[in-house]
């Protein structure tokens, strides 16, 4: 597949909400897998799966596609491609089980200001905290789970729609907490 194909695969899977497949690829601890690198002491992405081959980089960007997934997939901070500079952005919580990933926290220093996303799954309950910088706007994609009502603590969010298994909320600058 190569570097370019791998980057495109991650991009398509992220856009389609297939975090389950990306999780499977990044957590595999047997050869070949990104988890294999981590299990063998990697703190960066290697050029090749084999660590000890002479002349190969152990700090290889390869478009950083597994790393990007942690920000826009796991933490859910995604740029609105129709608006430059993150003035509008999305927070989309991945549909992963609690046994796969039970929490995530990321601060993203966007051109528009600091964006924060922090979520946690505990005993079937999902809590999300989001900070939107001044003069910005976000759409929160909260998983629509059967029989669970989503609550936002400030009461300032606006429920917008349902789409692809998510309940969408519109929020302006500030800090918000959602839970089900």
* pLDDT of amino acid 95: 84
Residues 81 and 165 in one domain: yes
- Rounded to whole angstroms, how far apart are CA atoms 175 and 140? 12
Q: Which of 5-9, 23-27, 169-173 has the highest mean pLDDT?
A: 169-173
Which of 11, 37, 67 lies at the terminal end of a domain, its last residue? 67
* pLDDT of amino acid 55: 67
* pLDDT of amino acid 104: 94
- Rounded to whole angstroms, how far apart are CA atoms 138 and 116? 11
Which of 67, 93, 116 lies at the terminal end of a domain, its last residue? 67
Range with lowest mean pLDDT among 38-42, 142-146, 155-159, 166-170: 38-42
Query: Is the per-residue pLDDT at 81 higher than 80?
Result: yes
State the pLDDT confidence band at 61, using cuts at 50, 70 and 90.
low
Residues 104 and 147 in one domain: yes
Residues 82 and 63 in one domain: no
Element (H, E) at 168: strand 166-179
- Rounded to whole angstroms, how far apart are CA atoms 86 and 67? 19
- In DSSP terms, 115 is beta-bridged to 108
Residues 84 and 62 in one domain: no
* pLDDT of amino acid 35: 82
Residues 55 and 85 in one domain: no
- Rounded to whole angstroms, how far apart are CA atoms 9 and 92? 19
Residues 40 and 102 in one domain: no
**Residue with more model confidence, 16 or 3:** 16
Residues 34 and 87 in one domain: no
Which of 25, 43, 67 lies at the terminal end of a domain, its last residue? 67
Residues 139 and 169 in one domain: yes
Residues 83 and 172 in one domain: yes
Instruction: Domain of residue 62: give its range.
Output: 2-67
Q: Which of 21-35, 38-52, 104-118 has the highest mean pLDDT?
A: 104-118
Query: Is the per-residue pLDDT at 1 higher than 70?
Result: no
Burial group, residue 99, by CB count within 10 angstroms (0-12, 13-18, 19+): exposed
Contact 117, 171 (CB under 8 A): no
> What does the pLDDT average to over 121-137?
95
Residues 106 and 40 in one domain: no
- State pLDDT tens for residues 85-96: 999 999 999 888
Name the percent of the chain lying above pLDDT 70: 91
- pTM greater than 0.95: no
How many domains does the chain contain in total? 2
**What's 112's domain CATH number?**
2.60.420.10
**Residue with more model confidence, 44 or 160:** 160
Residues 126 and 60 in one domain: no
Residues 82 and 142 in one domain: yes
- Rounded to whole angstroms, how far apart are CA atoms 180 and 176? 14
User: In the chain, what are the helix, strand and coil shares in percent, each to the nearest 5?
Assistant: 25, 35, 40
**Residue with more model confidence, 83 or 49:** 83
């Amino acid at each position: 597949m190569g570097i370019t194909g791998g980057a495109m695969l991650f991009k398509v899977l992220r856009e389609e909400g297939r975090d389950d497949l990306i999780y499977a690829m990044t957590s595999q601890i047997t050869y070949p897998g990104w988890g294999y690198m981590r299990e063998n002491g990697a703190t960066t992405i290697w050029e090749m799966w084999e660590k000890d081959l002479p002349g190969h980089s152990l700090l290889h960007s390869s478009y950083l596609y597994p790393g990007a997934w942690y920000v826009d997939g796991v933490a859910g901070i995604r740029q609105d491609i129709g608006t430059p500079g993150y003035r509008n952005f999305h927070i989309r919580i991945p549909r992963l089980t609690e046994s796969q990933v039970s929490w995530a926290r990321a601060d993203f220093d966007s051109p528009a200001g600091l964006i924060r996303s922090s979520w946690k799954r505990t005993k079937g309950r999902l809590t999300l905290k989001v900070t939107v910088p001044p003069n910005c706007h976000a759409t929160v994609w909260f998983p629509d789970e059967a029989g669970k009502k989503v609550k936002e603590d400030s009461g300032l969010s606006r429920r917008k729609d349902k789409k692809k298994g998510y309940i969408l909320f519109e929020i302006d600058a500030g800090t918000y907490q959602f839970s089900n």
